[in-house]
Chain A
Amino acid sequence: MHILVCGGTGCSASGSREVIAQLNKELEAHNLTDFARVVVTGCFGFCERGPIVKIIPDNTFYTKVKPEDAKEIVEEHIIKGRKVQRLLYVAPDTNKSVSDSKHMEFYKKQVRIALRNCGFIDPENIDESIARDGYAALGKCLFEMTPQQVIEEIKKSGLRGRGGGGFPTGLKWEIASKSRVGEKKYVVCNADEGDPGAFMDRSLLEGDPHSILEAMAICGYCIGSDHGLIYIRAEYPLAIHRLQVAIKQAEEVGLLGQDILGSGFNFTIELRYGAGAFVCGEETALIHSMEGHRGEPTFKPPFPAQSGYLKQPTNVNNVETFANIPVIINKGADWFASIGSEKSKGTKVFALAGKINNVGLIEVPMGITLREIIYEIGGGIKGGKKFKAVQTGGPSGGCLTEKHLDTPVDYDTLIAAGSMMGSGGMIVMDEDDCMVSIAKFYLGFTVEESCGKCTPCRVGNKRLLEILTKITEGKGTMQDLDDLRNLATVIKDTALCGLGQTSPNPVLSTMSNFWDEYVEHVTEKKCRAGQCKALKQYIIDPALCKGCTACARACPVSAISGTVKNPHVIDQSKCIKCGTCYEKCKFGAISIK
């Protein structure tokens, strides 16, 4: 039997390493090491309930496993074949425990192509990767296909860049292959994942590093490059470690390095660490950062394919894009193109976060509806609250609402709906979220991360943030709303790079979908979600106030006046909305409006 334990960042943080140690100890104590073994895998995607332990062959799916549960799992399940009921996943809709992963709603609608090996193999063992067709696609390309044939296959598959832009990958490779033939070229993997709430690339690199290395080598073969670089954030230590192990193993067996498989093709890969600047996800900024310069974007053209890293032709692809390549080569472009929607082929990995029951990593075919993602895979909104919006595309994307729930998710429909695919962050919001504050949050992020090179992004976004702050503080006017919209449109038209051009999207999309909420903040000075602190009013109900003076004594700014045994009053001009009086009142006389 195999006991698969998630060793991704999410589960490691909730203690999977101790679980692994304890399971091994128990197996040894019962002399079962020949019969069962513990395999440390990548992410299962069900991060909400980690650490995850999956027993093979019966697919039993244990959630929130603690080190002290190891004894029971070994003694009951491994020895006696009895499932440990209390550790099984309980479906939120039926309240019944689910015996194995095949019956979990979370997995039923998923199609795992990029994540095919995540949660299945031991990422630090190249043999397990090879058993799952690892490097088979590279072998096929090197011996049975010409670079042009490989490019044609990728083009035919309809694969588009998964980093956000959605540019056709095959076309990108073709341009790079035709650019300055015979000169030194580079393959770059963009693993600078920076959207708030996104962890797709990290999980992929942690769970299946060999697929990325293989795909980079295939790309090198196609465009005529012998060297690859992975630009990864230094704050992903586990992903870096797994990549280092994988590169070392691949070099040892000769699947990377000189004369791969005796084909005469050479390819080496090195890692470059980023310091975690959002703008470095933009390809020109990424290249500058790799060269040791400031991470600032430059104007395109020239595109990296013409003049990229060290002024040489460079092909930059995102981690998830690479993860799809070996499967396309092995299974064929037609197979890949049969999945997904008309203009967006294949699947997309999303990181589900926010007010949703099943926070985690999912991979779904393009064209699935938001409703299926949120209510079936995601298990619905937390605490039975009402769905309000879902933010896709991170700080460059927008909010989609109830009316978009049945929109099929692909590159083009999301743009038509005023958002974008982005790299795959999906943050769900409920009725307690204030949309003006959400826009303010994303703008705060953009202002913080703006590299400062072009004025529209550096100054314009700052002004946008100021106006938004003014509105959430109840000082906004209708003129501000006009200014907000005009300024946002100007930034969109004039900023230098893709990040600047998309940075006002959260403002524009919340304005078009939640206009009445903006107006309410301005004209009625009201925040219906109760999130804008400055718009809250603490009011004492004179009928309930006993005049005990507890609130007046506690108020840090002496905003409460009144005499003993007589109703008190809060001076709204002095009040700083700290909520102390509300907590102190024993009679429930203070309410928030």
Chain B
Amino acid sequence: MDKIRNLAELRKLKSNMVDKLQLRENSDSSEAIIQIKVGMATSGIASGAKETMSHLIEELDRRKIKALVLQVGDMGYSHAEPTIEVTIPGKDPVVFGKVDTAKADEIIEKYIVNGELVEGILPANYRSI
């Protein structure tokens, strides 16, 4: 291991290391940050949900956007897999269908960063009790 020679190096090391623990930090403050749920049931996985999820995690990480990407079960939209549900704090959750890696980029760029809506929103067809 390299020596940490001064305070600036310690702080730099910290900021590099923080990313490694980001996943745990985020899950600790899950109410206050963007949450993305990826439907990872059989139909989702078959249509590429795993790739979508990994891509989402990497891309958000690259852009330094604090978000919690969770895998969940089947959301019921088998016709539009992979499906993801994006919840921005203070807003209602929005479900997007047929999210491949390109679509994921579009959602991050337009919906999460700029707050614009994008094509492919699925109407909410359930009520939570």
Residues of A within 8 A of B (CB): 1-2, 4, 35, 56-59, 80-82, 102, 120-121, 126-128, 130-133, 135-136, 139, 142-143, 249, 252-255, 261-262
**Separation of A261 and B5 alpha carbons in the complex (Å):** 5
Is the CB–CB distance between B1 and A253 below 8 Å? yes
Residues of B within 8 A of A (CB): 1-7, 9-11, 13-14, 17-18, 20-21, 23-24, 26-28, 30, 40-42, 45, 54, 68-73
Beyond A136-B11, A252-B1, is A56–B23 a contact (Cβ under 8 Å)?
Answer: yes
A-B contact pairs, 29 of them (CB 8 A): A1-B23, A2-B24, A35-B54, A56-B23, A56-B24, A57-B23, A57-B24, A57-B26, A57-B27, A57-B30, A57-B68, A58-B27, A80-B42, A81-B71, A81-B73, A120-B24, A120-B28, A127-B13, A127-B17, A128-B17, A128-B21, A130-B13, A131-B21, A139-B7, A143-B7, A253-B1, A254-B3, A262-B6, A262-B7
Contacting residues, chain A, for B6 (C-beta < 8 A): 261-262
Residue with the highest number of chain B CB atoms closer than 10 Å, among A121, A127, A131: A131
Closest to B3 in A: A254
CB distance from A178 to the nearest CB of B (A): 28
Partner pick for B14 among A130, A142, A249, A252, CB 8 A cutoff:
A130
**Separation of A1 and B69 alpha carbons in the complex (Å):** 10
**Separation of A368 and B115 alpha carbons in the complex (Å):** 43
Chain A, interface SS category: mixed
Chain B, interface SS category: helix
Closest to B5 in A: A262
Contacting residues, chain A, for B40 (C-beta < 8 A): 80-81
CB distance from B49 to the nearest CB of A (A): 9
Contacting residues, chain B, for A2 (C-beta < 8 A): 23-24
**Separation of A461 and B61 alpha carbons in the complex (Å):** 64
**Separation of A128 and B14 alpha carbons in the complex (Å):** 9
CB distance from A44 to the nearest CB of B (A): 13
Contacting residues, chain B, for A121 (C-beta < 8 A): 21
Is the CB–CB distance between B14 and A136 below 8 Å? yes
Is the CB–CB distance between B10 and A58 below 8 Å? no
Beyond A59-B30, A102-B30, A253-B3, is A131–B14 a contact (Cβ under 8 Å)?
Answer: yes
Contacting residues, chain B, for A142 (C-beta < 8 A): 7
Contacting residues, chain B, for A57 (C-beta < 8 A): 23-24, 26-27, 30, 68-70
Beyond A253-B4, A261-B5, is A136–B24 a contact (Cβ under 8 Å)?
Answer: no
